[in-house]
Structure 1
Amino acid sequence: MRDDIRGGSAQKRVAEFAAERLGGASRIAAFSINGWDTHDNQDRSLGRALGRLSDTILTLRDGMGPQAWGKTAVVAMTEFGRTVRINGTSGTDHGTGGAMIMAGGAIRGGRVVSDWPGLAEADLYARRDLMPTRDLRAHAGWLIRGLFGLDTKVIERDIFPGLDLGPDPRLLL
């Protein structure tokens, strides 16, 4: 039986569980949403994946309530990116071009935080990928710093060993 027939998708049920815990004493939750490996027919599969992500974030927000949500940062990030160019099966292959989406009441939203390298042939890495400009872990590190008050040296040494956080992108309100 399909998840949506049984009373909600699996990720939505996980989000409901996480929201219940985060509305209480828990401060961190982590889970995975599949469906981002778009080697073919990306135009169809990407829309479904984005819909699942949206449903998950909205479920968290609604389940946590305004007070807990106001102190929350949700980070959706990938362990690999996609190539810029479409492949022969109307998809994209694994590449360096990734994205991080942030939501939550604690996030200074409504903007794109990036050093945009451009899409011109000369701007691409290996003529197929977005040029990497910043380690996504640095943004996660700054969120950890702001939400939990950890020193930047602790984040760079112990949480993300070898990472240079770089300048504060002011992600939090």
Structure 2
Amino acid sequence: MKVLIVSDSHGLTNELTEIKNKHAVEAGMLIHCGDSELAADHPCLEGFSTVRGNCDFDMDFSEELLEDANGYKVFITHGHRYSVKSTLMNLSYRAKELGAKIVCFGHSHSLGAEVIDGILFINPGSIRLPRGRKEKTYVVLDIEKNNIKLRVYDLKLGEISHLAQEFLLP
């Protein structure tokens, strides 16, 4: 199963639609980790599991979502309520409470992926205002049994192959 993960699009609509159209055929799940700055019923968010970020004011967004991706529980949140700019500890505690094996979050606008205590934490960066890099990034996961391949894309340049990673989860 392939999972498209974006975050922090901050009002972009054409770009979000372009990303969705590019990956919609292959992706079985679409995730937006918040700060879309759009209405929950905006057409470019159709099909996305979307959470509310600190810059989202539509109360129809959930603060958190728990989804299933090929047998893995996926915890989706923006991250601002978990202090993700300084630590992943709070997010880790919540993921463990939920039994999640994959955590998708944003807020810091910083691309990153790491496994802590058997849980994969993914921040796809930002397609509008990236921090720590020039590339405007999003992520596609390919989940097959316990092998997870992570591919990073730039909004304009396409796949950034040297940033690809593989993870084995129990």
TM-score range, shorter chain: 0.3 to 0.5
More helix by share: 1
**Given the two structures, how large is their TM-score scaled by the length of structure 1?**
0.32
More strand by share: 2
**Given the two structures, how large is their TM-score scaled by the length of structure 2?**
0.33
